[in-house]
Amino acid sequence: MINFKEREDLNTINHSCAHLLAQAVKHLYPQAKFWVGPVVEEGFYYDIDLGDDVIHELDLEKIEKEMKKISKDGSRIIREEITKEEALERFKNDPYKLDLINKMDDTTVISCYTQGDFTDLCRGPHVESVKNIKYFKLTKFSGAYWKGDKNNKMLQRIYGVCFNTEEELNDYLKMQEEAKKRDHKKLGKELDLFMISEYGPGFPFWLPKGMILRNELENFWYKEHAKEGYVFVKTPTMLNRDLWELSGHWKNYKDNMYTSTIDDVEFAIKPMNCPGGMLIYKNSLHSYKDLPIRCGELGLVHRHEASGALNGLFRVRCFTQDDAHIFMREDQMEEEIIRLINFIDRIYKIFKLPYTIELSTRPIEKYIGEIETWNKAESILENACKISGHTCKINPGDGAFYGPKLDFHVTDSLGREWQCGTIQLDMNLPERFDLTYIDSDGTKKRPIMLHRVIFGSVERFIGILIEHFAGAFPLWLSPVQVCIVPVNNDYHLEYANKIKEKLTNDNIRVELDDREEKLGYRLRESVMKKMPYTLIIGQKEVDDNTISYRKYGSEETITLTYDEFLNMINKEIENKDLLIQ
């Protein structure tokens, strides 16, 4: 996916397109007042106050038409620089622009851009003329709170994209189509992976096929973590309110927690695994020699998310974090974080998911701990990135109140970015829970603790994988690995059954399609269900004691002996070879 913010040429033209949008809206809705119209990662938007009017779907077409008309008329875009005083005078009837102007300091030179009958306060730069803005599309619209605050008035936000060439616009639109085809909600239904019932909004059900995929993914997770020296635990789903008071969740996170009363005592369902993890650490004494302790948990958490935020597997109310808490001595920190980054790198590579890392640093106001500790922690995180060969983008002030973090953004096969992994340093919980270890000099010390996930949420990660692979999973993950289609049930079913039995005994997930349908029909069905391998068993195979297969995505039929075929697919499973469509 094209990042409009990072491409200067697109950045400018999209910004200009936002102005063009505003001008068109002003023509059609003279009462319109404008807030801001920035370029975002995917195009641009403009937030508009239409008074009592709201935008509807058909309005977008109308606005687009007006934009095209203005563009054709082709007026120049003229920059003008004025003082704050002049700006205040010029925009005196526009409360939104006044709000912006008042925030600027008195000496700033304020620039305005005028195109035809429309002037907007703007830093620029812009393209020379509205004539240059030709290849654009308004994509979506919605309400958006003024300044993002739900206590403020809701403005109308219109989104769009703009390109320099028709090809780029068409490519973009094609990509959108492709994304629609890969929608995990659609594929999840077609491939019988999961469902969501109206009786449990945001609480997904896993169907037998989806469960296989999920189990494979989780087994893989356990195996890889064991190799990295992790131990595994499971903490309870429901715990006493006192614990959540101690962890601080009752105070800060109660609105998102499901609670219940048992025998007159309040309990809460865990929205995070950490407090339970803390209790496990405290369950025994720890020597400095035991550290680092890497304690993993595939923990099912529940969070009461806003109803409007739910979205398939991407945003749910219960999900499994592939969590782990690492407790270590200060001198182990850098090595441990480098090790972790390399580990995450190895995992993402297996899924062919390239990624970028971002470092979020100390918030300006709300934070705990010493600035010195923060600075040190931040530099260790940044350094660890460098040493492991990555550059990291820095998001100043974006860290949690309890510590800085590294976020991992993976890029899927359509170029879309997803935040999955995160490494968070926690300076809060070890204090609150009074975690200690006995150091070499016999004194109690406070361990350094970090939380980390790689998938983020198993549910969401599967959603991403479904779209990444367009439902055609790599063999090791595929719910069904081989589909057997006998040519004629009367003559070839026995042999087909024998092959099925052999494959099953060799731990291959196999299905036999013995329905009384034409070969072509069943073959088509097998392709529609994205079966990695389809075996065609007819007289030739029975006579020669062979199998013939077609691989998903290929139209070639290849004949092998059973052992050759088994060897081949076992190798593919072992290597986790990926075929990305």
Answer for which of 13, 212, 344, 420 binds RNA (CB under 7 A) is 420
Q: Which stretch binds RNA (CB under 7 A): 28-36, 94-102, 153-161, 286-294?
A: 153-161
Residues 6+ apart with CB under 8 A from 563: none
> Which residue in the list 182, 451, 460, 500 is annotated as catalytic?
451
Nearest distance from C-beta of residue 191 to RNA, angstroms: 12
Is position 471 an interface residue for RNA (rule: CB under 7 A)?
no
Nearest distance from C-beta of residue 386 to RNA, angstroms: 23
Residues 6+ apart with CB under 8 A from 304: 255, 256, 257, 258, 317
Give the residue carrying structure tokens 């008329």: 73
State how far the Cα of 319 lies from the Cα of 420, in Å rounded to an integer. Answer: 13
Answer for which of 26, 214, 339, 460 binds RNA (CB under 7 A) is 460
Q: How far is CA 513 from CA 315, 344, 510, 521, 560, in A?
A: 36, 40, 10, 11, 20
Is position 453 an interface residue for RNA (rule: CB under 7 A)?
yes
**Is the Cβ of residue 211 or residue 310 nearer to RNA in the bound state?**
310
Answer for which of 178, 224, 266, 305 binds RNA (CB under 7 A) is 305
Is position 145 an interface residue for RNA (rule: CB under 7 A)?
yes
Q: Closest Cα to residue 469, out of 310, 347, 581?
A: 581
State how far the Cα of 239 lies from the Cα of 223, in Å rounded to an integer. Answer: 29
Site string for RNA, 318-337 (x = CB under 7 A): -x-x----------------
> Which residue in the list 126, 209, 325, 500 is annotated as catalytic?
325
Q: Which stretch binds RNA (CB under 7 A): 26-34, 106-114, 307-315, 334-342?
A: 307-315
* Site size for RNA (CB under 7 A): 70
Give the residue carrying structure tokens 């060897």: 567
Residue 473's CB is within 10 A of a number of other CB atoms, namely 25
Is position 310 an interface residue for RNA (rule: CB under 7 A)?
yes
State how far the Cα of 570 lies from the Cα of 253, in Å rounded to an integer. Answer: 47
Half-sphere exposure of 13 (CA within 13 A, CB side): 19
Is position 205 an interface residue for RNA (rule: CB under 7 A)?
no
**Is the Cβ of residue 140 or residue 376 nearer to RNA in the bound state?**
140
Residue 295's CB is within 10 A of a number of other CB atoms, namely 19
User: For the chain, how big is the Rg over CA atoms in Å?
Assistant: 29
Residues 6+ apart with CB under 8 A from 18: 37, 38, 39, 44, 45, 46, 160
Nearest distance from C-beta of residue 62 to RNA, angstroms: 14
Is position 62 an interface residue for RNA (rule: CB under 7 A)?
no
**Is the Cβ of residue 291 or residue 453 nearer to RNA in the bound state?**
453
Q: Closest Cα to residue 400, out of 427, 373, 420?
A: 427
Q: How far is CA 5 from the centre of its chain?
A: 19
DSSP element (H, E) containing 541: helix 539-544
Q: Are 572 and 521 in contact (CB under 8 A)?
A: no
Is position 124 an interface residue for RNA (rule: CB under 7 A)?
no
State how far the Cα of 381 lies from the Cα of 424, in Å rounded to an integer. Answer: 10
Q: Are 531 and 499 in contact (CB under 8 A)?
A: no
Half-sphere exposure of 362 (CA within 13 A, CB side): 16
Nearest distance from C-beta of residue 41 to RNA, angstroms: 10
Q: Which stretch binds RNA (CB under 7 A): 70-78, 152-160, 286-294, 472-480?
A: 152-160
Nearest distance from C-beta of residue 42 to RNA, angstroms: 8
Cis peptide before 292 (omega within 30 of 0): yes
- Residues numbered 499-558 forming contacts with RNA, rule: CB under 7 A: 515-521, 523-524, 527-528, 536, 538-542, 548, 550, 555, 557
**3-class secondary structure, 12:** helix
**3-class secondary structure, 396:** coil
303 is catalytic: yes
> Which residue in the list 112, 162, 274, 385 is annotated as catalytic?
274
Q: Which stretch binds RNA (CB under 7 A): 135-143, 260-268, 376-384, 573-581?
A: 135-143
Q: Closest Cα to residue 432, out of 302, 536, 278?
A: 278
Is position 143 an interface residue for RNA (rule: CB under 7 A)?
yes
Is position 396 an interface residue for RNA (rule: CB under 7 A)?
no
323 is catalytic: yes
Is position 311 an interface residue for RNA (rule: CB under 7 A)?
yes
Is position 561 an interface residue for RNA (rule: CB under 7 A)?
no
Is position 251 an interface residue for RNA (rule: CB under 7 A)?
no
Residue 518's CB is within 10 A of a number of other CB atoms, namely 10
- Residues numbered 157-176 forming contacts with RNA, rule: CB under 7 A: 157, 159
> Which residue in the list 23, 115, 156, 321 is annotated as catalytic?
321
Q: Which stretch binds RNA (CB under 7 A): 82-90, 141-149, 208-216, 363-371?
A: 141-149
**Is the Cβ of residue 157 or residue 225 nearer to RNA in the bound state?**
157
**Is the Cβ of residue 6 or residue 255 nearer to RNA in the bound state?**
255
State how far the Cα of 410 lies from the Cα of 416, in Å rounded to an integer. Answer: 8
Residues that bind RNA (CB under 7 A): 54-57, 140-145, 148, 150, 154, 156-157, 159, 185, 189, 196, 198, 201-202, 303, 305-312, 314-317, 319, 321, 419-420, 422, 453, 456-457, 459-460, 487-490, 515-521, 523-524, 527-528, 536, 538-542, 548, 550, 555, 557
Q: Which residues are catalytic?
A: 274, 303, 321, 323, 325, 405, 451
